Chain A
Amino acid sequence: MAKAKQSRYLMVYIGIFLVFLYSPALLLPIFSFNDSTIVAFPLGGFTLAWFIEVFKTEPLLAAALNSLLVAVITSVFATIFGIFAARASTRYQFTGKRGIMGLIMVPMVLPEIIIGVSLLVVVLQLGFNLSLTTIILGHILLCLPFCTAILSAGFQGLDRSFEEASQDLGRSRLETFWYITLPLVMPAIISSLLISFTISLDEFIIAFFLSGTDATLPVYIWGQLRFPTRIPIILALGTVLLLVSLTLLIIAEYFRRIGARKTGNEIKGGLF
């Protein structure tokens, strides 16, 4: 009796919590189809004009292209570095392992403003110009711990006897890594690529500190938030971005599950 009552309270709380959790995300599509420049209730009619405007705004498209470029390069490099770090930490013992892995993982808990500021100081002191390249350098640093964590899980689940069998059958270490290990951890690699792509695409603070004349999408959005008439276009853009992120995320989750099945692990919580 007491238990039923207790769990009823909990259910009510969860209901309220879900409303709190989802309210911004649900308002986003509502206002991006709303036929009014004022972002408030009551709603006007239904319109697709803001979405059409998104695809007609030159600087917005340029920023989107920049973001895409930054995110692709970031995800490739962060994942390659992540493979090195994850392989080393799951397979080998070496001197200073804790310190080295700690340094690699630290951006996960460091406030982004510190990463942004410290890179800004060095770039300016060395006399380089701020550009998309400096943003990419910062984003790789930020994504590296996330990639390393995902890939470590992938390498950890690997059954080592596959690699031993391959070497016993005469393959070199490199060939074994290429033909046996990589395909087995491929799902982890793909989810690492997608997660770092998504993080980079949405990252604002580091990009804000390190951007030169070329803006990424979040930097562009930040500039537009000052102009009330531009808001509905930004919200329509936000809806498009949400759909893109969710699609990528679902693909990432799909590959993670395949990976879990391949290495014979049970599908447990993970990130999702």
Chain B
Amino acid sequence: MNFSLIQKIRGQAGLILVSPPFFYALLLLAFPLMGVLALSFWTQDYLELNRGFTLDNYREAWTGAIYQALMLRSLKISILVTLLTVVLAFPVAYFISFHVPPKKKPLWIFLITIPFWTSYLIRIFLWKVILGFNGVINGSLIGIGLIDEPLKFLLFNQGAIVVTLSHAWIPFAILPIYVALEKIDRSLLEASEDLGDGPVRRFIRVTLPLAMPGIIAATLIVFIPTIGDYVTPKLVGGPNGLLIANMIEVQFKKANNAPLGAALALSAMFVVSTMAMVFLWFNRKYLKQGQ
């Protein structure tokens, strides 16, 4: 047997081996997504589906005032959550990578992830308890005499959503940034110091650019799924805090307009992926210039 033939057989073996999970993903992910795509071009009259091709759902999803408002609000909140999460996460990742002795690092990473094994729903509900009218923050502020009346602006608004979601996503931002920081060759930092850079310059010229892959990963990991969050706006968002995911759910369930729901879901995905691409493109440009 010559070498290329062995390669060919090897290739077949890999394909055969990967086929059960591949077909599973094809059947239950790729195929259903195409179903959603098809559905978004149809219309529904109560329970009856009309399979004639139309762009009406997209027209409505992109021009309807309420859908526009929800989409923009969702985007705004996703961007704010991503910014806040990455900004909060970076010093923590930096601390673990640069200040914690190597043997204790796994323990610290474990420490960061423990709170997230509390049930997701209950965790978000507990934020309601913390931020609420009779909540922990108001209670303590009144207790130490800083305020007389409970603060009402803490809960049931978009700020509450941003705080709650940032809390929910923070370990997913810390981990990739930490991994990127760990990969930085420490001698580069010394070299920068030897060349006369102070701590701030050293951070901006060496640490931050080298940590960029981690920051980019963190940004994407937080930004993309946040747009689909359904629970947080319902629990802490209040009347003006509903997001696009809540509207998608309404269309699929109560409103019995699955095609519009499908068009909304795909439009949201499209907007988010486009923004992610643009973000990646800008970064590549910026990083190239830096070199």
Q: A25 to B122, alpha carbons, bound, how many Å?
A: 9
Q: Is A88 touching B14 in the complex (CB atoms < 8 A)?
A: yes
Q: A144 to B30, alpha carbons, bound, how many Å?
A: 14
Q: Does B117 contact A (CB under 8 A)?
A: yes
Residues of the A chain whose Cβ atoms lie less than 8 Å from the Cβ of B64: none
Q: Does A28 contact B (CB under 8 A)?
A: yes
Q: Which residue on chain A has the smallest CB distance to residue B130?
A: A23
Q: Is A269 touching B178 in the complex (CB atoms < 8 A)?
A: yes
Q: Which residue on chain A has the smallest CB distance to residue B37?
A: A118
Q: Is B199 touching A23 in the complex (CB atoms < 8 A)?
A: no
Tell me what chain A mostly uses at the interface: helix, strand, loop, or mixed.
helix
Please choose the segment from A44-52, A93-101, A180-188 that sits at the chain B interface, where 4 or more of its residues have CB less than 8 A away.
A93-101
Return the CB mask of B17-35 against A: 1 if under 8 Å, else 0: 1111110111011111101
Given A25-B115, A27-B129, A121-B39: A81 touches B248 (CB 8 Å cut-off): no
Residues of the B chain whose Cβ atoms lie less than 8 Å from the Cβ of A174: none
Residues 1-47 of A contacting B (Cβ, < 8 Å): 2-3, 6-7, 10, 13-14, 17-18, 20-25, 27-28, 31, 38-42
Q: Does B135 contact A (CB under 8 A)?
A: yes
Q: A271 to B91, alpha carbons, bound, how many Å?
A: 19
Given A218-B119, A246-B114: A111 touches B92 (CB 8 Å cut-off): no
Q: Is A202 touching B120 in the complex (CB atoms < 8 A)?
A: yes
Q: Which residue on chain A has the smallest CB distance to residue B253?
A: A209
Q: A88 to B248, alpha carbons, bound, how many Å?
A: 37
Q: A94 to B14, alpha carbons, bound, how many Å?
A: 6
Q: Is B28 touching A137 in the complex (CB atoms < 8 A)?
A: yes
Q: Is A234 touching B179 in the complex (CB atoms < 8 A)?
A: no
Q: Does B214 contact A (CB under 8 A)?
A: no
CB distance from B276 to the nearest CB of A (A): 9
* Cross-chain contact of A112 among B7, B35, B92, B228 (Cβ < 8 A): B228
Residues 93-130 of A contacting B (Cβ, < 8 Å): 93-97, 100-101, 103-104, 106-107, 109-115, 117-122, 125
Most B CB within 10 A of own CB, among A21, A231, A237: A21
Q: Is A25 touching B139 in the complex (CB atoms < 8 A)?
A: no
A-B contact count (CB 8 A): 236
Q: Does B59 contact A (CB under 8 A)?
A: no
Q: A40 to B102, alpha carbons, bound, how many Å?
A: 41
Q: A115 to B125, alpha carbons, bound, how many Å?
A: 24
Q: Does A242 contact B (CB under 8 A)?
A: yes
| Contact-residue bracket for chain B | 35 or more
Q: A134 to B117, alpha carbons, bound, how many Å?
A: 24
Residues of the A chain whose Cβ atoms lie less than 8 Å from the Cβ of B99: 7, 10
Return the CB mask of B110-134 against A: 1 if under 8 Å, else 0: 1111110111111101110110101
Q: Which residue on chain B has the smallest CB distance to residue A125?
A: B35
Q: Does A148 contact B (CB under 8 A)?
A: yes
* Cross-chain contact of A13 among B26, B91, B225 (Cβ < 8 A): B91
Residues of the A chain whose Cβ atoms lie less than 8 Å from the Cβ of B13: 92, 94
| Contact-residue bracket for chain A | 35 or more
Q: Is A118 touching B33 in the complex (CB atoms < 8 A)?
A: yes
CB distance from A51 to the nearest CB of B (A): 15
Residues of the A chain whose Cβ atoms lie less than 8 Å from the Cβ of B109: 269, 271-272
Return the CB mask of A235-272 against B: 1 if under 8 Å, else 0: 10110011001100100010000000000000101111
Q: Does A82 contact B (CB under 8 A)?
A: yes
Residues 119-160 of A contacting B (Cβ, < 8 Å): 119-122, 125, 137-138, 140-141, 144, 148
Residues of the B chain whose Cβ atoms lie less than 8 Å from the Cβ of A118: 29, 32-33, 35-36
Q: Is A88 touching B18 in the complex (CB atoms < 8 A)?
A: yes
CB distance from B211 to the nearest CB of A (A): 15
* Cross-chain contact of A271 among B11, B113, B121, B130 (Cβ < 8 A): B113
User: 11 A-B Cβ contacts within 8 A?
Assistant: A3-B199, A6-B199, A7-B99, A14-B92, A20-B167, A27-B126, A40-B129, A88-B18, A94-B18, A109-B221, A140-B24
Contacts beyond the supplied A109-B224, A204-B121: 10 A-B pairs with Cβ under 8 Å:
A14-B92, A21-B112, A23-B136, A41-B134, A81-B21, A100-B18, A103-B25, A112-B225, A245-B117, A271-B113
B-to-A contact residues, CB < 8 Å: 7, 10-15, 17-22, 24-26, 28-33, 35-36, 39, 88, 91-92, 94-95, 99, 105-106, 109-115, 117-123, 125-127, 129-130, 132, 134-136, 139-140, 167, 170, 178-179, 182, 199, 220-221, 224-225, 227-231, 235, 245, 248-249, 252, 258, 261-262, 265, 269
A-to-B contact residues, CB < 8 Å: 2-3, 6-7, 10, 13-14, 17-18, 20-25, 27-28, 31, 38-42, 80-82, 84-85, 87-89, 91-97, 100-101, 103-104, 106-107, 109-115, 117-122, 125, 137-138, 140-141, 144, 148, 198, 202, 204-205, 208-209, 218, 221-222, 225, 231, 234-235, 237-238, 241-242, 245-246, 249, 253, 267, 269-272
